[in-house]
Amino acid sequence: MLHENATPYLVAFGTSALIVLCFTPVIRSIGLKAGIIDNPGDRKMHTTPVVRVGGVSIFLGTLIALLVVWGMGGFVGATGQVLPTFKEYEIWGVTIGGAAFFLLGLADDLFDLSPFLRLGLQLAIAAGAWQVGVRMDFISIPFIGIIKFGWFSLPITMIWLAGMANAINWIDGLDGLAAGVSAIAAAVLLITSLFMQQPAAALIAAALAGGCLGFLRYNFKLSSSAEIFMGDGGAYFLGFTLAGISVVGLVKSTAVVAVALPYIILAVPIIDASAVIFQRLRKGQSPFSGGKHHLHHRLVRAGVSKRWAVLFIYALTLWVGSLALAISGIPAGGTYAAVSTLLMLYACWQLWIRTRKGFDRDPKHKDTTD
């Protein structure tokens, strides 16, 4: 058994999911009345105006869930003992940093901030998180040992935290994509953090996973379009929090496999963002310039429906997550990896059918909800 006292994690997960389920319709109603909507455009994948501040409910769900657990007697560790003060600082460091990223994204949703101002503020917030302990201080390399970053810890941490916030924001291009990918990544981070005896990170991951799953009820539907988008506020919050969880839960461990796990678990948004940045730089374009070069754009252009593109990326995220579980050495990790590999092979087969044989372009099979 990975954990002797699962109550705090179940409370965090369930509270966050319930709050998001209840609050999202309220946020949508307010957004409609205030006219805070995302209109269709050349770079947009939706065809009708949609409220774009659903991230408010994810943020509130995660924050309130952690406050509820804290109010029940404090954050507890594997043995049921209250966590030491420095571990509580890590939880609040990630949570408050996530709140700052959320507010920055919400300001962008409302006032359309310039990309350079956004980046500057993101780096400043990441530096503040580093100051309170959310930092990458070293790396453990096989046959070499631990290499400390020294003062390089600050820029490395800033790039990681701000980079993941933007990576999640960039994949938020189809209904349910960012929320689903984040839910899967948070669930894997929850399991691996518990196994690595990092309960502080596990608590945040549990609350975040619950919030993402609750939001999918309104953001991803197989029979209709999304009722609400999370917006930059929600995407920035998810990206920063996932990055923060990985820092306080895995990167701080001296185990070689633990240091590598975050990059495997979050491989899909990392590789997608890196590939797009490289392509833009190669063409002499600004990394902040818009375009339709992300994985979900490419899948849709290849003839895959938007729903299937999202499901395929879900399968890809689950697959790399299961590989991380196997590498971490958790019980039955190899079994999870084998099952998810079969699922990934099936998803690839379906992708081949739909791109090569034009399944989704056939009027008889067209997904009219796209």
309-340 pLDDT, tens digit each:
999 999 999 999 999 999 988 988 999 999 99
225 near 46, Cβ under 8 Å?
Answer: yes
Confidence (pLDDT) at 366: 44
Confidence (pLDDT) at 80: 59
Neighbours of 61 (CB within 10 A): 27
| Predicted confidence pLDDT, tens digits, the chain (370 residues) | 344 578 889 999 999 999 999 999 999 999 999 999 887 766 666 667 899 999 999 999 999 999 999 888 767 655 556 666 666 677 888 999 999 999 999 999 999 999 999 999 999 999 999 998 898 887 766 567 678 888 899 999 999 999 999 999 999 999 999 999 999 999 999 999 988 888 888 999 999 999 999 999 999 987 678 899 999 999 999 999 999 999 988 876 656 677 789 999 999 999 999 999 999 888 888 787 777 889 999 999 888 989 999 999 999 999 999 999 999 889 889 999 999 999 999 999 999 988 876 554 544 444 433 3
Residues 63 and 67: their CA atoms lie apart, in Å, by 6
Confidence (pLDDT) at 370: 38
Sign of CA dihedral 280, 282, 285, 291: negative
Neighbours of 133 (CB within 10 A): 17
Task: Show the beta-strand stretches assigned E in 55-155.
Answer: 138-141, 145-148
Residues 279 and 322: their CA atoms lie apart, in Å, by 29
Residues 63 and 99: their CA atoms lie apart, in Å, by 9
- Tokens describing residue 54: 């659903």
Domain edges within the chain: 7-291
Q: Is 62 helix (H, G, I), strand (E, B) or coil?
A: helix
Distances, alpha carbon 29 to alpha carbons 25, 50, 271, in Å: 6, 11, 36
139 near 149, Cβ under 8 Å?
Answer: yes
Q: Is 73 helix (H, G, I), strand (E, B) or coil?
A: coil
The CA-based angle 272-275-276, given to 5 degrees, is 85
- The amino acid at 109: D
Q: What is the pTM (predicted TM-score) of this model? A: 0.90
